[in-house]
Amino acid sequence: MIVSLPFSLKFPTNVDERGALTVIDGWKNIPFAVKRIFWIYGVPEGARRGGHAHKLCQQVIIAVAGSARVTIRGQEYMVDDPAKGLHIGPGISIALDRFAPGTVLVVLCSHLFAEEDYIKDVTA
């Protein structure tokens, strides 16, 4: 399995006196067809999420509110900008922690949930 490093995606954003509007137009902004979307919120202080990889599934993590730290192979990335997403390819184990109060992460996935796609017991 070829494992690529994560990369940041910047989404088109329009800002004026009324505020900001950020858009994701499918294939133009995301490198895969989105088949599943979930969000993570209400994470208690000190809690950790993730701790696994996927055999096939790709993900883009977007902090639509707040922030969190994503650790991948000892490298730390902050997701804290609703106009940016962190692309996680197959085979990449991640750990999520340091959730700011009120954080909401939206995760776009290339595959539907499948237990057999999980690679568990790996360290990020």
Catalytic pick among 52, 54, 87, 111:
52
Nearest-10 Cα torsion for 74, 121, 99, 22: 80
* 87 given a catalytic annotation: no
Whether 93 and 45 have beta carbons less than 8 Å apart is answered as no
Q: Which helix or strand (DSSP H or E) is residue 97 part of?
A: strand 94-97
Whether 83 and 56 have beta carbons less than 8 Å apart is answered as no
* Residues marked as catalytic: 52
